[in-house]
Structure 1
Amino acid sequence: MHRRTLPKLLPTLALLALLPLATGCDQIAELLELPNPERDAARMEAEGRAIGSGCRHSGRSLEDCYTLNPSADKAAVFAGWRDMNDYMLERKLEVVPAQLTQLPTLPGTPAAADPSAATASPAAGSPAQPPAQAPATR
């Protein structure tokens, strides 16, 4: 190479060397938890749609879905509920009710420390109570 062309190529080579670092900017920003309004809005929209479609698939009314998920974006919940409703009507799908009778406990909580408390049956002679329907969680 000529000595005159090397200084001309140096900026180009430097940009090519830094290119892999620039492609990971979104990942770096996410790791550093930098605010990104567009990403957060897209995440809230996707979560709301998922909540709405899950509510419709399990047979919950839209109002119940709003009540059980107060922090979810109502417009996104409605859009997900409506999309799932259309999908179910087109394919003649039936509602799939939730099978949980109580919320699962996380390790370290008082109910998880005593496994017999979670599976205890009602005492003999006491009226059996119907299982409470588990609220939807986000």
Structure 2
Amino acid sequence: MPSTLPRPLATALVAAALLPLAGCDIPGLGPDPRALQREAEAKAIGGACRHALRGLEDCYTLNPKAAKAQVFAGWKDMDAYMRDNKIEGTPSVLTEAKPPARRARDDAEDERG
């Protein structure tokens, strides 16, 4: 059965009909937002470790749930940024903080004793 429209015109109509659909976001086809958040957090952890003058191995040990590849990427990006801008790192001091209620009670005991 022959078409009533010339072939170039039919092709143009089909393309015009499909063009608005090209920019649509179909739910479920994009990356998982939770995975993107975990990757961003791992990169931030790596950057913070580099700024705190920690080695990668220490960073991996302190953050076992973070993705190592992303931690490394963040560490490397921060290293390049710090070198380019001549920024010195700040050493981190890990301490164990007392819970607030206990700290207030200990201070009161110190004043009495």
**Does TM-score exceed 0.5, indicating one fold?**
yes
Quote the sequence identity (%).
Answer: 47
4+ aligned runs moved over 4 Å, structure 1: none
- 1:121-132 matches, within 5 Å, as none
How high is the TM-score relative to the length of structure 2?
0.60
Listed as ranges, the gaps of 5+ residues in structure 1 are 1-25, 27-35, 106-110, 121-138
Aligned pair count reads 78
Root-mean-square deviation over aligned CA pairs = 2.4
What secondary structure does 1:97 align onto?
Answer: coil
Please tell me the residue identity of whatever aligns with 2:77: D
Normalized per residue, the structure richer in helix is 2
1:49 aligns with 2:37: no
- Once the 2 structures are TM-superposed, how far is the Cα of residue 37 of structure 1 from its aligned partner? 6.2
Listed as ranges, the gaps of 5+ residues in structure 2 are 1-26
How high is the TM-score relative to the length of structure 1?
0.50
Instruction: Identify the residue that residue 135 of structure 1 maps to in structure 2.
Output: none
- 1:85-124 matches, within 5 Å, as 85-98=79-92, 100-105=93-98, 111-115=99-103, 116=106
- Once the 2 structures are TM-superposed, how far is the Cα of residue 101 of structure 1 from its aligned partner? 5.0
- 1:61-80 matches, within 5 Å, as 61-80=55-74
Instruction: Identify the residue that residue 131 of structure 1 maps to in structure 2.
Output: none
Q: Counterparts of 1:46 and 1:75 in 2: how far apart (Å)?
A: 11
What secondary structure does 2:33 align onto?
Answer: helix
